[in-house]
Amino acid sequence: MSHQFPEHFYWGVSDSAHQTEGHNHNDWTAWEQDHAKGLADQAQARLLAQARYTGTMPDWATIKQQATRPYNYISGAACDRYNRYGDDFTLAKELGCSAYRLSIEWSRIEPVEGVFDKKAIEHYQAIINTLRQSNLEPFITLWHWTIPRWLRDKGGWTSKAVIDHFCKYVDVVAQALATNVQFWITINEPLVYASAAYHQGIFPPQHTSWTEYMRVINNLNRAHTKAYAVIKHTNPAALVGIAKSAVHFEACHNRFVNRLIKTRADWWWNYRFMNKIIDSFDFIGINHYHHNLINHTLNQNENERISDLGWELFPESIYHVLNDFSRYQRPLYITEHGLADNTDKYRAWFITETLKHVHRALADGVDVRGYFHWSLTDNFEWDKGFWPRFGLYKIDYATQQRIKRPSADVFKNIAATNQLAV
């Protein structure tokens, strides 16, 4: 038996500029330089702090060596994607992909306030041309968590001025790439960013303020709505969406109190942001990694299988989030899904099982139009650095060699045939 996916279903891989390009000069690179030693010294303590919420701890013995070295936390040359994009697109093509999601680095386009770098713009034009020549549909994220340093110095996403700055940048990029890009993602996971940077104090600038947290969410909200109009003004035929972190909150035993908590969690994390931009998206990018079982309190997951980061691997949850987000009656693209799995122990299983549930959602009539695996290659995993390995291809960072993991062939068999054998 096999599960056939709809005709024109996009199969892709997904990544972001800062995590792959190398040699950026933004707020993150500055923070990495200043904090690498502290991050290395506190690596275990930070994971233990996370474990207090998730109930799981990564296998410290296997990651200790890398996680305790400062250079792990400095993005440096990263995957050298800035130079190797052509070869990497070839790898994606060989995996049967028909689409590629990547982001534009704002700090390259506008290194100085109001000064737009022609060379950087041409670089991204060349990237898009290469994607087109390879028959890979570009899905372009305009903002994936890094900002130019001049903007950081003005208060970053807490400042009101950020909205106009963002729209000017979006306007320049939209005009430069208009003829070649149909799918635009304005912002990647607004709540994850706002929470990690301004509430939990994990990402730069590591603030822990409720008022700033709320202000940043509101600014991201307004920035999306305005950017939507800016892109449409340049190209009315463009399709503009957002990449939303979608969590499956599950009420244990369907108990009343658990359902109550679920309703509130869903509202806050999944729906509130979307409801505020309700008239300003043509599709939703679903970034899905987490299931959250509620039993009087959050995160009571069974954790039968976990990734190297300690995240539960629960394939069924995608079925629920796809159904949940179908309420917006717009096409859904799974713009991120994947796992940190250095030894490739679970990746093939996780992809296959997850796609069975995507197929189930399709059979229910949910309008899912693509699946993008995070990620083509290993890359720089933000405050955790290089040790979490998300790639269908492993990277040997000493040589930048790409080494195919066995799960890549499993993904390829599905993507290239547009069907899943079950």
| Residues found near ligand BGC in the complex (CB under 6 A) | 16, 19, 188-189, 192, 245, 287, 336, 374, 381
Residue 5 or residue 28: which is nearer to ligand BGC going by CB? 28
Q: Inter-axis angle of helices 162-177 and 118-133, to 10 degrees? A: 50
Least separation in angstroms between CB 168 and ligand BGC = 24
How many CB atoms within 10 Å of residue 174? Answer: 23
Using DSSP, state whether 29 is helix, strand or coil.
helix
Q: For residues 334 and 325, what is the distance between their CA atoms, to the nearest angstrom?
A: 11
Phi, psi of 205 (to 5 degrees): -90, 20
Which residue, 88 or 189, is less far from ligand BGC as judged by CB?
A: 189
Which residues does residue 241 pair with via DSSP β-bridges, in sequence order? 185, 283
- Least Å distance, CB 416 to ligand BGC, is 25
Residue placing its CB nearer to ligand BGC in the complex, 105 or 189: 189
Alpha helices in 95-239 (DSSP H): 106-109, 118-133, 149-152, 162-177, 190-198, 210-234
* Minimum CB distance to ligand BGC smaller for 19 or for 407: 19
**With DSSP H G I counted as helix, E B as strand and the rest as coil, what are the percentages for the chain, rounded to 5?**
50, 20, 35
Which of 280/379 has CB closer to ligand BGC? 379
Of the pair 195, 258, the CB lying nearest ligand BGC is at 195
Smallest distance, Å, CB 340 to ligand BGC?
7
> Which residues, in sequence order, are CB contacts of 264 under 8 Å at separation 6+?
none
